[in-house]
Amino acid sequence: MTLDKFSQYVERHPGIDRQIDRRTANVAKEDGVLIDARLSGWMAKGADISILLTAPLELRVKRIARRERRRYKDVLAETERRERSEAKRFKRLYGINVNDYSGFDLMLNTGRWNVKEMNRVLELVVGFIIRGRV
């Protein structure tokens, strides 16, 4: 099932989102975990740090198209549909506005730096957290 089809399916079966998000919330209670989830800023309560990695739509679509060897315009249409679907579902299920980033401690635009630089920024931030505990 494609991601596009899955988004359409989940719109009709909200229990799937609830199940995934409940699991995310439970895993977040464990020590030493990294959670990659769009709703982690809201679902991973009590996390040591919540970081949102983002990029402009055009760059995200370009990356997906290159990685999956697909046409840019097809990926763009699919991404826009999926993001509208997620926004609608998350608002309906949890009252979450996915464009409100207040649930995150830090937001980084991955289009601004290369991979090596992004890793360095994240290492610094995580280092601050770890040293703050010691």
Residue 50 and residue 35: Cα distance in Å, rounded? 9
CATH number at residue 17: 3.40.50
CA 23/CA 79 separation, integer angstroms: 25
Q: Are the beta carbons of 85 and 7 closer than 8 angstroms?
A: yes
In this prediction the pTM is 0.80
Task: State the amino acid at position 129 in one-letter form.
Answer: I
The whole-angstrom distance between residue 108's C-alpha and the CA centroid of its chain comes to 12
Domain count, the chain: 1
The pair of three-digit structure tokens given for residue 2, joined into one six-digit string:
């494609």
* Domain with 47 in it: 3-133
Average pLDDT over residues 84-109: 91
The residue ranking higher by pLDDT, 134 or 52, is 52
Q: For the segment 7-64, what is each residue's pLDDT rounded down to a tens digit?
A: 889 889 989 988 988 888 888 888 877 787 778 888 887 788 889 999 999 999 999 9
